[in-house]
Chain A
Amino acid sequence: MSKEEKKVNRRDFLFTASYTVGAVGLGAIVWPLVHQMNPDKAQQALATTEVDISQIEPGKSITVLWRGKPVFLKRRTQEEINEARSVNLQDLPDPEKDEDRVKKGKDEWLVMLGVCTHLGCVPLKDKGDYKGWFCPCHGSHYDLSGRIRKGPAPTNMEIPKFEFVDSNTIKIG
């Protein structure tokens, strides 16, 4: 009996082949059932938004909706830019230069996802210990460059892909 078991025979091959084909077939039918939950074509189609920024005064900001999420567009004053750039990078939990968070030559425009990187709430503007944003949910403080300074959020607020279509229009996405 035990001698026979050790020998690889035709039946073992059939078992292995059947299991393999079965597993592939199962995977092929499970994947559509899993993938259907990912964003559909209609959701993906909403991927860009154009915003008119001609009416925004220096020091003011607006919030627009992009892919169901708020995006902050803030036109910063020179003072605010200076303050954002005077920070010692070593003091930041997620070190990033202010220059790297804006488009070159358009330093006054801060465009970022208005989503707290902790658990997704919308931070309040002009609040918190660093004059930037403050998330009311779990107390994360962001500075004038949208960088995390204090609280549970792990990273700076995200900068989406965007470009200046002309001097008055920004295209997000």
Chain B
Amino acid sequence: MSNEYTPKSKAGKWFNDRLPLLTLGSHLTDYPTPKNLNYWWTFGGILTFCLLTQIITGIVLAMHYVAHADLAFASVEHIMRNVNYGWLIRYIHSNGASMFFLAVYIHIFRSLFYGSYKSPREVIWIIGLLIYLLMMATAFMGYVLPWGQMSFWGATVITSLFSAIPLVGESITTWLWGAYSVDNPTLNRFFSLHYLFPFLIVGLVILHIWALHVPGNNNPIGIDIKKPSKDTVPFHPYITIKDAFALLLFLIIFSGFVFFSPNVLGHSDNYIPANPLVTPAHIVPEWYLLPFYAILRSVPDKLGGVILMFGSIFILFVLPWLDTSKVRSAVFRPMYRYFYWIFVVDVLLLGYMGAMPAEGIYLALARIGTIYYFLHFIVVLPVLGLLEKTDPIPMSISAPVLSSGADPALAKKDYDKI
């Protein structure tokens, strides 16, 4: 955040005095970054790429798509068959949504492992969660646009969640629909909002990065570092090249889906035009919403299920205060490490149960998974911070490397001042 930057050229100086964009650019390239960032830290850049990809392909698709209940399904087929490269652009957009969520889940679980949500980064975390909520809303509305059977019934089920609200629920649902069921007005407004929300996400991403640049990046050992110092490298070229390499690997997977199995993450029922008289035998949301769907279905009460489902996301907002441990990185938290992986397995289990029918053993396991999900936040994390004996924390990123192995003399004893 040094203000010493002055542009070399006279024109640059003239402009920068009036709008300091060049100072901002210099801040971004010189931004001191911990030198030990591993590949889990490359997903911020990958996510930026995903967002831009969705916006660019989305704008192009909107040039050919028709948001009308009678025409939407056919217009999507028109894109697939008639529009030049329409198939490619649509497959990038539809698989891009899945790739976006894959990256965001890795990004979130990276935060959970390395304690990136803890002080002083709570605001970054909360803005990130708002982005995640907007992403889910955007993806849901986008899935409705092709107006297939899954679009229609997915829209019906999700909007009906609001009817669980006592007293005003029915009015809210009708208001969301603009009709007495999911119908043309619903499709029309979903298209409008699906176009708007990504730009709101862009705004939040700018705030997310701004908030990040105040304290600077967390790092794999989770200690505060002096910036700039021997422990940091400038963002450019060190991080840009690492991010670019990771992005290339990510694009190989992305391309694999787009070119070799573009429909594997979708559902074949969505190639049947929407029919308000017939519900598909087995309704499932997109894979990235399955854990929450499992929580919804595991509760035998309508309102209770809806509350727990929304609660499972909103509890993340208070996570920085539920986790009582002052040590950030799981590297130095021998017990949290186990509970972290149990939690990962629990979320994956919930995801699997969300895809299975809600009966018998699946339902029982979904209930156990749901209970554990909340126990992790409400019991495990607060208690662990008090009971756990954490490992000694190095004084700096360089310290353990330079002293060839763990030297207790270099370790901090005072955990409160990490």
Contact = CB atoms under 8 A, between A and B. Distances in A.
Contacts of B176: 37
Contacts of A84: none
A38 B174 contact: yes
Nearest to A122: B279
> Chain B's interface: helix, strand, loop or mixed, by majority?
loop
A69 B175 CA distance: 16
A43 B179 CA distance: 6
B75 to A, nearest CB: 21
A121 B276 contact: no
Contacts of A69: 180-181, 276
Contact of B156 (A34, A38, A39, A119): A119
B277 A63 contact: yes
Interface in A95-154: 117-122, 135-139, 151-154
A74 to B, nearest CB: 15
Interface in A29-49: 34, 37-40, 43
A126 to B, nearest CB: 15
B189 interface: yes
A39 B182 CA distance: 11
Nearest to A151: B300
Interface in B139-181: 153, 156-157, 159-161, 163, 174-181
Nearest to B173: A120
Nearest to A154: B302
A67 B156 contact: no
Contact of B182 (A40, A68, A153): A68
Nearest to A153: B302
A113 to B, nearest CB: 10
A70 B275 CA distance: 10
Interface string B318-341: 000000000000000000000000
B277 A121 contact: no
Nearest to B178: A37
Interface residues of B, number: 37
B156 A121 contact: yes
Contacts of B359: 139
A68 B153 contact: no
A151 B178 CA distance: 29
Interface in B275-325: 276-283, 297, 299-303, 305
A67 B283 contact: no
Contacts of A37: 175-176, 178, 185, 189
Given A38-B175, A40-B185, A67 B180 contact: yes
B178 A40 contact: yes
Contacts of B159: 120
A65 interface: yes
A70 B276 contact: yes
Contacts of A40: 178, 185
Contacts of A153: 302
Nearest to B306: A119
A115 to B, nearest CB: 8
B246 interface: no
A120 B153 CA distance: 8
B189 to A, nearest CB: 7
A137 B181 contact: no
A152 B178 contact: no
Nearest to B299: A152
A139 B358 CA distance: 7
B269 interface: no
Nearest 4 pairs between A and B by C-beta? A68-B181, A67-B180, A120-B160, A119-B160
21 contacts: A34-B175, A38-B175, A40-B178, A40-B185, A43-B180, A65-B276, A68-B180, A69-B180, A69-B276, A70-B277, A117-B302, A118-B302, A120-B159, A120-B163, A121-B157, A121-B279, A122-B277, A122-B279, A136-B283, A152-B300, A153-B302
Given A67-B180, A136-B279, A153-B302, 19 more contacts: A37-B175, A37-B176, A39-B174, A43-B180, A68-B179, A69-B276, A118-B302, A119-B157, A119-B160, A119-B161, A120-B160, A121-B153, A122-B279, A136-B281, A139-B357, A139-B358, A152-B299, A152-B305, A154-B301
Interface of B: 153, 156-157, 159-161, 163, 174-183, 185, 189, 276-283, 297, 299-303, 305, 357-359
